[in-house]
Structure 1
Amino acid sequence: GGLLRAARGERSIAYVAERAGVSAETLRKIETGRIPTPAFFTIVALSRVLDLPLDEIADTAAALPITGEALAG
């Protein structure tokens, strides 16, 4: 979430969400960790809008601890 928030910069949640084809609430939940494992295609869409390479997102995610909540989906 933090990586996406940093990449969003000064752009509003509504602006990025609209261009990625997701709801602003979904993006807000991803950024705050309330959706710990967002759908792959959601991440792809956000990475395109934010010009953020998928490998950078994957590297950041790989460094995070795996929690029971994340495993439960």
Structure 2
Amino acid sequence: RRETGHLAPAAYGRYNNVILTDTELSGLKTELPDKWEYYIDRLSCHIASTGKQYHSHAATIHKWAQEDAAK
């Protein structure tokens, strides 16, 4: 927990490098019920292999899901 009493973001994915708040994770589970784990692991592997940093991991996952749906 943070000093404010809110839960701190947690690390997810194969390499524990996808940082999401509980609210962000809940949103992904709601919006991508069958694919949220796939996208978290995809981002985790991408970050681990490229070293790339993202301002918002949740936003990156939403963007990738939208791009995949448009294909």
Rg larger for:
2
TM-score, normalised relative to structure 1: 0.27
Which structure features the higher share of helix residues?
1
Which structure features the higher share of strand residues?
2
TM-score, normalised relative to structure 2: 0.27
